């Protein structure tokens, strides 16, 4: 019996090691796949709306994301690992976390946001009011989303929408700010969160990430009319200088660059957004440099194309 178990463990470990070491792009791929789980996004944006920039906002965030519905307890690092094992893959729990969160922090109607701004937030970031009810994730945002469509400026124009508002990039748009936690990193966090915290300091807050996101979005000039533009998701890996400028950036998934000219176009537009000096230096907290000296941007045009 024990032998069997031992064998089993050895083989599993071997398998995991092989998969981990042998498939270098595994991580990236997984990220891309996970993107459609847009629910977390909503949660995040709520947070962002809160002007507060608390010292340690993120631990709770992770938790909320990690655990499904059963445990609404926000601050509990320990449960995370267990929950994580089953939670991340399933997209279902979306609405719930949202609700909890709403109940706790954000009120359903837009105005409260303003008043909810008791603690002065240092940077005058424009307020990211509305969360968009994208087609992609229509369910999660039931109550507080009265103003739907023109908000997101689709780059594709159609006359009906024209009447209201053509295109323009409005600020709101929050997407998942939270880097996605895969199994490995959850384990890592659980097992040695203390150590890593020590090493590289506190994580970036969601507001801080949002700020950068918005900076880059201003510089992403995407080829809106390209064929199948909605099927292309581009990842860019960047090495950052401590002053917030980009030292180096490259497109991940080079293979498709040479075979698909439309993909190359989309990828190059993303690279230009990352490199454009107009949008740099990124407004990142210098004291957390260790946290952002290595960045990965995922460019997803689907929302822009109204899909």
Provide the 3-class DSSP secondary structure of residue 249.
Answer: strand
Q: What is the DSSP letter of 57?
A: -
Choice between 117 and 239, CB closer to other proteins? 239
Member of 200, 244, 253, 256 binding other proteins (CB under 8 A): 200
Task: Pick the stretch among 88-96, 107-115, 137-145, 218-226 that binds other proteins (CB under 8 A).
Answer: 218-226
Structure tokens at 290: 């260790």
Angstrom distance (rounded) from CA 247 to CA 258 = 25
Contact with other proteins (CB under 8 A) among 81, 149, 281, 285 = 81
Residues 121 to 160: which contact other proteins by CB under 8 A?
A: 152, 155-160
SS3 23: coil
| CA separation, residue 72 to residues 1, 41, 64 (Å) | 39, 18, 7
Structure tokens at 116: 């909810």
- Of the ranges 57-65, 97-105, 109-117, 208-216, which one interacts with other proteins (CB under 8 A)? 208-216
Helix (H, G, I), strand (E, B) or coil at 297: strand
Residues within window 286-305 making contact with other proteins, judged by CB under 8 A: 290-304
- How many residues bind other proteins (CB under 8 A)? The answer is 88
Select from 46-54, 68-76, 106-114, 167-175 the region that touches other proteins (CB under 8 A). Answer: 167-175
Q: Which is nearer to other proteins, 141 or 177 (CB)?
A: 177
Task: Tokens 């922090």: give the residue.
Answer: 105
Q: How far is the CB of 65 from other proteins (least distance, A)?
A: 14
Three-state secondary-structure class, residue 295: strand
Q: Is 33 in the site for other proteins (CB under 8 A)?
A: no
Binding of residue 48 to other proteins (CB under 8 A)? no
Closer of 1 and 118 to other proteins (Cβ): 1
Check whether the bond before 142 is cis (ω within 30° of 0). no
Question: Does 37 interact with other proteins (rule: CB under 8 A)?
Answer: no
By CB under 8 A, residue 32 contacts other proteins: no
R_g over Cα of the chain: 20
Quick one: which of 100, 224, 253, 285 contacts other proteins (CB under 8 A)?
224
Contact 205, 198 (CB under 8 A): no
Taking alpha carbons only, the member of 269, 281, 268, 278 closest to residue 221 is 269
Q: Does residue 198 touch other proteins according to CB under 8 A? A: no
Instruction: Say if CB 116 and CB 50 are below 8 A apart.
Output: yes
Among 22, 75, 120, 225, binds other proteins (CB under 8 A): 225
Residues 74, 89 contacting (CB under 8 angstroms): no
Among 9, 23, 239, 255, binds other proteins (CB under 8 A): 9
Residues 246-285 that bind other proteins (CB under 8 A): 261-266, 268-273, 275-278
């Amino acid at each position: 019996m024990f032998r069997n178990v031992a064998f089993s463990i050895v083989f599993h470990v071997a398998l995991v090691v092989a998969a981990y070491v042998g498939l270098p792009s595994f991580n990236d791929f997984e990220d891309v796949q996970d993107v459609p789980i847009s629910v977390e996004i909503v949660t995040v944006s709520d947070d962002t709306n809160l002007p507060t920039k608390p010292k340690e906002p993120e631990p709770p965030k992770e938790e909320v994301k990690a655990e499904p519905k059963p445990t609404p307890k926000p601050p509990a690092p320990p449960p995370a690992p267990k929950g994580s094992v089953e939670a991340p893959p399933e997209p279902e729990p979306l609405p719930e976390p949202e609700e909890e969160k709403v109940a706790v922090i954000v009120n359903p109607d837009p105005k409260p946001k303003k008043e909810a701004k008791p603690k002065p937030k240092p940077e005058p970031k424009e307020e990211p009011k509305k969360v968009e009810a994208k087609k992609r994730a229509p369910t999660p945002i039931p109550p507080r989303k009265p103003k739907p469509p023109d908000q997101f400026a689709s780059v594709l124009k159609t006359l009906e929408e024209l009447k209201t508002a053509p295109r323009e990039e409005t600020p709101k748009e929050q997407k998942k700010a939270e880097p996605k936690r895969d199994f490995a990193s959850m384990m890592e966090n659980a097992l040695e969160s203390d150590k890593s915290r020590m090493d590289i300091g506190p994580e970036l807050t969601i507001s801080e990430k949002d700020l950068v996101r918005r900076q880059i979005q201003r510089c992403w000039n995407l080829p809106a009319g390209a064929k199948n533009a909605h099927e292309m998701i581009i990842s860019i890996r960047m090495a950052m200088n401590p002053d917030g400028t980009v030292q180096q950036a490259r497109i991940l998934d080079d293979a498709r660059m040479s075979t698909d000219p439309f993909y190359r176009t989309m990828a190059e537009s993303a690279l230009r957004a990352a490199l454009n000096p107009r949008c740099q230096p990124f407004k990142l907290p210098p004291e957390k440099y260790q946290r952002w000296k290595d960045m990965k941007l995922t460019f997803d045009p689907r929302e822009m194309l109204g899909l």
